[in-house]
Amino acid sequence: MKVAIYPGTFDPITYGHLNVIRRSAGLFDRLIVTVARNQKKRPCFSIRERLEMIREVVRSYRNVEVDSLEGLLVDYAKKRKATVIVRGLRAVSDFEYEFQMTLMNRKLNPNVETVFMMPNESYTYLNSGVVKEIAMQRGDVSRFVPESIARRLYKRFGVVPHSKKKGPERLRVR
């Protein structure tokens, strides 16, 4: 059985992430989408919230599991009997960091391969940070994340969900 891990912070999960998940789920017997704690980032959503959001939007995939990890990814891969790490590449700017991480992971555990997947070209510009910024500024994020995720973003930032005629508005605090 070929087991792969797709790690990320997923704060929040976007259609770009979901595109990589859908395609990876078709390539591997089991795909573990893993929410990683990244000390460099200050996430908007807790680990528990991100796990809930991801489970909600991937529940139709029978071979996709959602989990979280602390520590080294290669140690987690060994524990879960995964031999592949899936990483999404949006642009050339992602490549240098991903290349460095891949070489380091290979040094730590040569039995784990890294596979790079480019999301559909319509998502190459998309990242969670940009989506959060749009939601914070009362913009429409419905083209970038599933509806349930958009609702959570609007709620987190105190934004009333948009209508087709008018963009989202800030909730008034009394």
Question: What phi and psi, each to the nearest 5 degrees, are found at residue 87?
Answer: -130, 135
SS3 147: helix
Helix axes 128-136, 147-156, angle to 10 degrees: 60
AA identity, residue 62 = R
* Catalytic residue selected from 41, 59, 155, 170: 41
Which residues, given as ranges, of the chain have pLDDT below 70?
A: 39, 161-174
SS3 132: helix
Whether 164 is catalytic is: no
* Residue 147: domain span: 3-157
pTM of this prediction exceeds 0.85? yes
Q: Is residue 170 part of a domain?
A: no
pLDDT at 163: 52
Q: Is residue 172 part of a domain?
A: no
Per-residue model confidence as pLDDT tens digits over 147-160? 999 999 999 999 87
* Catalytic residue selected from 23, 90, 156, 162: 90
- The Cβ of residue 29 has, within 10 Å, a number of other Cβ atoms equal to 10
Q: Is residue 78 part of a domain?
A: yes
Q: Is residue 16 part of a domain?
A: yes
Whether 163 is catalytic is: no
* Catalytic residue selected from 17, 50, 132, 152: 17
pLDDT at 165: 42
Whether 128 is catalytic is: yes
Domain count, the chain: 1
Q: Is residue 112 part of a domain?
A: yes
**Paired tokens of 111:** 């039995």
- The Cβ of residue 32 has, within 10 Å, a number of other Cβ atoms equal to 21
Q: Is residue 27 part of a domain?
A: yes
Which CATH number characterizes residue 126's domain?
Answer: 3.40.50.620
Whether 17 is catalytic is: yes
pLDDT at 81: 97
pLDDT at 162: 53
Question: From CA 34, how far away is CA 54, in angstroms rounded?
Answer: 10
pLDDT at 62: 97
Beta bridge partners of residue 82, listed in sequence order? none
Per-residue model confidence as pLDDT tens digits over 61-97? 999 999 999 899 999 999 999 999 999 988 777 788 8
Q: Is residue 142 part of a domain?
A: yes
Q: Is residue 165 part of a domain?
A: no
* Catalytic residue selected from 24, 87, 128, 152: 128
pLDDT at 172: 41
Q: What's the gap between Cα 104 and its chain centre?
A: 22
Burial 117-131 (b: 16+ CB within 10 A, else e): ebbeeebeebbbeeb
Would you say how long the chain is, in residues? 174
